[in-house]
């Protein structure tokens, strides 16, 4: 959800041309999979556009290429091939030192959406405030 929420927010702010946004998995479990259907439903409910998606595992080249690697939870950070100053926990951007609510276990996609939206808004504002 985060990739599409952040893309939506940058477009709404008129700054989508300043960001290159992509998502990647840290493990091989979801490789090739589309967005999980309940996550798609939550995006639709909130009028967040999305397209076809095929999960892939982050590569060292991607890690080197991107300015920021933002993870939804501490477990994902632990699985990264490299962890340094460009790696961060998503909710820290929103001032909270915790994981994004995990709908995989709770089935609460609304809580996950709220967390991700709040964090993405904070991330965008942080970058815009630097300009």
pTM of the predicted protein model: 0.94
The pLDDT value recorded for residue 82 is: 87
Model pLDDT for residues 15-47, shown as the tens digit of each residue: 999 999 999 999 998 899 999 999 999 999 999
Q: What is the distance, to the nearest Å, from the Cα of residue 118 to the centroid of all Cα atoms in its chain?
A: 11
How many residues belong to the chain?
A: 131
So where are the chain's domains?
2-88
What is the dotted CATH code of the domain comprising 2-88?
3.40.50.2300
Model pLDDT for residues 47-74, shown as the tens digit of each residue: 999 999 999 999 999 999 999 999 999 9
**131 has pLDDT over 80:** no
**14 has pLDDT over 80:** yes
Half-sphere exposure in the Cβ direction for 54 (13 Å, CA)? 1
Kindly report the number of other CB atoms within 10 A of residue 121's CB atom: 16
Residue 25 DSSP class: B
């Amino acid at each position: 959800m985060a990739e599409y929420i952040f893309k939506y927010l940058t477009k709404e702010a008129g700054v989508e041309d300043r960001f290159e946004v992509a998502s990647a998995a840290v493990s091989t479990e979801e490789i090739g999979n589309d967005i999980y259907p309940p996550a798609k439903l939550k995006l639709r409910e909130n009028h967040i556009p999305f397209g076809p998606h095929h999960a892939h595992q982050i590569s060292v080249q991607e890690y080197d290429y991107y300015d920021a690697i933002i993870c939804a939870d501490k477990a994902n950070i632990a699985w990264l091939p490299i962890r340094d100053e460009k790696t961060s926990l998503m909710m820290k951007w929103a001032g909270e030192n915790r994981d994004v609510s995990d709908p995989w276990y709770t089935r609460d996609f609304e809580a996950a959406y709220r967390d991700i939206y709040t964090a993405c808004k904070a991330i965008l504002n942080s970058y815009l405030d630097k300009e």
